[in-house]
Amino acid sequence: MSDLFSVQGKVVLVTGGSRGIGEMIARGFVAGGAKVYISSRKADVCEALAKELSAEGTCIALPADLSSEAECQRLANEIASREDHLDVLVNNAGATWGAPMVDYDEIAFERVLALNVKGVFHLTKFLRPLLDAAATADEPSRVINIGSIDGIHVPALETYAYSASKAAVHQLTRHMAKAMAPTITVNAIAPGPFESKMMKATLDAFGDAIAQAAPLKRIGRPDDMAGAALFLASRAGAYVTGVILPVDGGIATLA
């Protein structure tokens, strides 16, 4: 039981890992003894966090804009030039867009879907050889996609492309789980409200009301998110695949 939730020595890539949900997950893996690569579009932010986390473990910045297939390929090639296998891929990089329906145009949908859905697929596709390299049915490699409870229920805000993209991520997760078994598990975490840059404006305006409406009466904490990712990436989660795991204080259980 002592190593049931261990990720010691695993090689991990967390996209969108320089802030928000991705940073929470990256911090958890570094603290757990994994070798962690973080990627995000802003190189300076990515490098700064990698330097900070390297004080307590191993964290390496590899900036990339994963909204294009070419950049997904480039990042996969960069990982392959450094590692002979990849144990865990966390597809967290994402974007949102809010506007009234009448103003919601093609640019909004293209920006959000390109990163949130196509980026997840392309990066996983290009990294599959590394995920396969050391994987077995007893100790599978892991893909963890970050969805959202907005892909489970109808959100209050007019974020049409975002909620559609996260519902797509959930179905893509199930599809990939079937295709990549038995040596790679694919699961999704569907976060509820957490303190992140993406959620800042919403929580500033409605945070107290959101917390009180949640069955568990609070906003998510970094260790809540890290714990879910560590479970799915460790031996404890080796027999779990194709699952959409809400980490939301019970909000997804509400109508």
Establish whether 162 is a catalytic residue: yes
Query: Which residue in 37, 104, 160, 162 is the catalytic one?
Result: 162
CA-based nearest residue to 246, from 225, 230, 226 = 225
Contact 145, 120 (CB under 8 A): yes
State the Cα–Cα distance between residues 97 and 102, nearest whole angstrom.
Answer: 14
The H or E element spanning position 174 is helix 160-180
State the Cα–Cα distance between residues 74 and 65, nearest whole angstrom.
Answer: 10
Cis peptide before 182 (omega within 30 of 0): yes
Q: What angle do CA 180, 181, 185 make, to 5 degrees?
A: 85
Three-state secondary-structure class, residue 86: coil
Contact 94, 115 (CB under 8 A): yes
Catalytic residue numbers, as ranges: 162
